[in-house]
Amino acid sequence: MTTERHLIVNADDFGQSHGVNCGIIETYEKGIVTSASLMVRRPAAEEAAIYGREHPELSLGLHLDLCEWIYRDETWSPLYEVVPIDDAVAVAEEASRQLIRFRRLVGQEPTHLDSHQHVHRSEPVLSVMTETARRLGVPLRDANSEISYCGSFYGQSANGYSYPEGISIDGLLTTLKTLSSGVTELGCHPGLSDNEQTMYGAERIQEVRVLCDPRVRAAIDAEEIELHSFRSIGVRGHSAC
């Protein structure tokens, strides 16, 4: 069994807003981000796609956007729903629309697939996305064992409360030090300040600082971890860490 460790650092929500785009671009150019997942329905999707076309070494995947939930008044409530996520036909049609728009924006197929707030972890979205990934021949987050997914770099609890330890320098350095052999996708959500109302705002700014901190790059080098994008790694599949 190989002891080599390979790391894909993937930024979700590319295209969500100008501020999110700026944060992802900064962490790609000055930090350790290697790939991003594009939300094709959002206002800044075209801006993100233009950057992706100009920087083909940044792997772009489709971040399927079906709904968003927010935590308020001690409960999770839907902020919006594009289609009913329990309707397999509606989900398949919407996934097809977003894939077509991705192709039009980016000019190529996505290098990987995932979804906003991980809705593809449940049926019927899982089956729709699994079939789409199979047809495209690309990895789907959590759907295979060749790439493990690590979601520990996140600045909120399961109930939406602030959890700064999750996006601290020390926390990320520990994650890198204990990284398993094989290929791991590390999820992140960097962004810079803008006017968008969101649950995850200040945390995005903190993520940018941490992902660009020179101590993180030094730790990757010291641990002999190889950074890759989805395009450069050349494997297919996913599981959870």
- Residues involved in catalysis: 12
Q: What is the DSSP letter of 158?
A: T
Q: Where are the alpha helices (DSSP H) in 30-87?
A: 45-54
For residues 59 and 230, the answer to whether their CB atoms sit within 8 Å is yes
DSSP secondary-structure letter at 114? E
Ramachandran bin of 71, using left for φ above 0, alpha for ψ from -120 to 50, beta for the remaining angles: beta
Q: Is 231 left (phi over 0), alpha (psi -120 to 50) or beta?
A: alpha
CB 106 within 8 A of CB 60: yes
Strand 5-14 with 75-81, pairing? unpaired
User: Does residue 94 contact residue 83 with C-beta atoms inside 8 Å?
Assistant: yes
β-bridge partners, 62: 38, 113
Least Cα distance to 20 among 209, 142, 210, 189 occurs for: 189
Tokens representing 184 are 């791991």
Backbone angles phi, psi at 95, to 5 degrees: -60, -40
Question: Three-class SS of residue 98?
Answer: helix
